[in-house]
């Protein structure tokens, strides 16, 4: 353990590692021993932050469906208990539920951990940490890893308790009550989703509970739902609303079962997307537009915070059609949420922070990125419009969507990729200023966003530096056929003059 690279486990505000052997060039670095020390480190860190002895801490641990989950989770709990902390073993759970265990009466945990690696392959796993103030920040994770590396913990003679608790049922009931009260159906209050057929695709992750513990008590017909059983090998498709095969699967299921609505979650249920009764995706810009329409009905004129790659049509829809304010910020769901919190602190009302990946967080729900809560808001509106004889997608009927879109990931071939990537972005700004029909978009917080105004292009592009990888993601959209190709051709004039970039993704 002396030469173990603890820093390599940090992935922003999460810990992630390889938990299962057998994949070439991916050696295991998240073992039961490592997990136990991480449990001890979090307990020690939290006791210091709260100025409480570890023996007075109440902690909770849950996991998604990954095959490495049970063993690693037991090790984390053993580590916590070895310092005298009392632990709730909530078994299968969702990431948002683990946060809710810190603010739910009767639980009121001092801290919680979710064992997950989101949508990453089956051999990975990780830890997300929570207190009642929300998810831990990047600097907090660094401190926890430092404590784990030092391995200087105050063990106790009598270990703390590990008690099994079914928290996901408590969390699900919170959603049930939320939907009942918000719909307030005049004929069947207890079952406001009666007469609606709603299909859930959990991708064999942790989200299968939503069908049985939320939808069915509300009266929905969930027949045709698929991949609800947890299976950490993810045999059917990647549990990821951004994955093409996953979205195609739920769209087909909605059509085949003549359902009114479809819901798809990622592995740990902090992201979601939906499908309308015609089998059309409610994802990315369309999902943001739909939840924005709902939020701006409730909070007129407030600010919607999104990430940087949202479309011009979405901005126009929010600001002109919905008469709200669109604040386009940086990629990364933590960035988007933090910015919405900051705006509220400065007096600018913001009730929604949402990223195109499906991470959506609402002020009314602790600014927690909760995929189940997000779709519950959609279902409330679905039940209401059904009573009025309308369709949910009527809310976004005027949303203008691009004719074409493309993302190209340009690999950077130098070690100091961050400074090199920033220099490329700087050079691109100079190039843009020399083009007749291109102009830099003002109030841009990430990379360089450019409006392309010629009739042949009629679109925009954004070049930014990836948060973690040696990659320059390039997003291009156009409102005319062939526009993306026109913009790409012009951009290649620039990129062909830059060294150390892998341009094979353009072909």
CATH number assigned to the domain comprising residue 72: 3.40.120.10
pLDDT range class, residue 309, cuts 50, 70, 90 = very high
Q: Which of 395, 429, 444 is the last residue of a domain?
A: 395
| Per-residue 3-state assignment (H helix, E strand, C coil) for 126-166 | EEEEEECCEECCHHHHHHHHHHHHHCCCCCCCCCCCEEECC
Give the strands of the sheet with 471-478, arranged side by side: 438-440, 448-452, 459-463, 471-478, 404-412, 501-502
Taking residues 476-497, what's their average pLDDT? Answer: 97
Same domain, 161 and 175: no
Torsion, Cα of 309, 311, 315, 316 (10° steps): 170
Q: 195: helix, coil or strand?
A: coil
pLDDT range class, residue 202, cuts 50, 70, 90 = very high
Taking residues 146-172, what's their average pLDDT? Answer: 97
Same domain, 439 and 482: yes
**In this model, does residue 1 exceed pLDDT 80?**
no
Write b or e for each residue in 149-178: b if 16 or more Cβ atoms lie within 10 A of its Cβ, otherwise e. Answer: beeebeeeeebbebeebebbebbbebbbeb
Same domain, 129 and 267: no
Same domain, 362 and 423: no
Same domain, 227 and 366: yes
Q: Where in the sequence is the domain holding 117, given as residue range(s)? A: 6-165
pLDDT digits (tens, 9 = 90+) for 385-405: 999 999 999 999 999 999 999
- Neighbouring CB atoms inside 10 A of 186's CB total 8
Q: Which of 132, 165, 198 is the last residue of a domain?
A: 165
Same domain, 210 and 355: yes
Question: How many separate domains does the chain show?
Answer: 3
Same domain, 338 and 408: no
Q: Which of 114, 133, 165 is the last residue of a domain?
A: 165
pLDDT digits (tens, 9 = 90+) for 74-113: 999 999 999 999 999 999 999 999 999 999 999 999 999 9
Pairing assessment for the beta strands 86-92 and 162-164 based on DSSP bridges:
parallel
pLDDT digits (tens, 9 = 90+) for 243-301: 999 999 999 999 999 999 999 999 999 999 999 999 999 999 999 999 999 999 999 99
**pLDDT number for residue 119:** 86
């Amino acid at each position: 353990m002396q030469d173990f690279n603890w820093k390599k486990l940090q992935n922003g505000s999460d810990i992630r590692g390889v938990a299962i052997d057998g994949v070439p060039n991916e050696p295991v670095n998240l073992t039961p021993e490592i997990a136990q020390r991480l449990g001890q480190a979090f307990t020690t860190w939290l006791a210091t932050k709260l100025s409480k002895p570890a023996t007075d801490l109440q902690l909770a641990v849950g996991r998604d469906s990954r095959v490495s989950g049970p063993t690693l989770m037991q090790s984390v709990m053993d580590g916590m208990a070895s310092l005298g902390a009392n632990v709730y073993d909530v078994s299968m759970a969702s990431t948002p539920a683990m946060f809710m265990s810190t603010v739910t009466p009767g639980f009121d945990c001092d801290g919680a951990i979710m064992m997950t690696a989101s949508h990453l392959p089956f051999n990975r796993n990780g830890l997300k940490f929570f207190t009642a103030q929300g998810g831990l920040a990047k600097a907090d994770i660094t401190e926890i890893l430092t404590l784990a590396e030092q391995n200087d913990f105050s063990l106790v003679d009598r270990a703390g308790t590990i008690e099994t608790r079914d928290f996901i049922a408590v969390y699900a009931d919170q959603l049930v009550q939320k939907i009942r009260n918000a719909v307030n159906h005049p004929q069947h209050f207890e079952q406001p989703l009666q007469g609606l057929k709603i299909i859930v695709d959990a991708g064999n992750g942790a989200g299968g509970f939503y069908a049985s513990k939320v939808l069915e008590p509300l009266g929905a017909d969930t027949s045709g739902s698929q991949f609800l059983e947890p299976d950490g090998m993810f045999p059917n498709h990647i549990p990821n609303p951004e994955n093409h095969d996953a979205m195609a699967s739920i769209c087909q299921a909605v059509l085949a079962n003549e359902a009114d609505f479809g819901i798809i979650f990622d592995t740990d249920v902090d992201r979601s997307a939906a499908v309308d009764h015609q089998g059309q995706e409610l994802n990315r810009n369309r999902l943001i537009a739909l939840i924005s329409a709902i939020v701006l009905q409730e909070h007129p004129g407030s600010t919607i915070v999104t990430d940087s790659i949202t479309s011009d049509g979405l901005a126009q829809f929010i600001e002109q059609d919905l008469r709200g304010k669109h604040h386009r910020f940086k990629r990364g769901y933590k960035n988007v949420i933090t910015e919405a919190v900051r705006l509220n602190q400065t007096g600018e009302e913001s009730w929604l922070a949402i990223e195109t990946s499906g991470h959506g967080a609402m002020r009314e729900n602790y600014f927690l990125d909760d995929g189940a809560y997000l779709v519950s808001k959609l279902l409330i509106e679905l039940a209401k419009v059904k009573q009025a004889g309308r369709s949910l997608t009527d809310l976004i009927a005027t949303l203008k969507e691009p004719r074409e879109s493309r993302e190209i990931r340009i690999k950077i071939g130098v070690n100091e990729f961050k400074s090199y990537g920033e220099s490329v972005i700087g050079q691109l700004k100079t190039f843009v200023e020399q083009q007749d029909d291109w102009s830099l978009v003002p109030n841009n917080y990430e990379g360089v966003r450019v409006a392309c105004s010629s009739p042949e292009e009629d679109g925009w592009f954004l070049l930014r530096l990836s948060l973690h990888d040696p990659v320059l993601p390039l997003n291009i959209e156009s409102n005319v056929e062939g526009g993306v190709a026109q913009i790409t051709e012009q951009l290649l004039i620039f990129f062909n003059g830059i060294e150390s970039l892998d341009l094979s993704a353009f072909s």
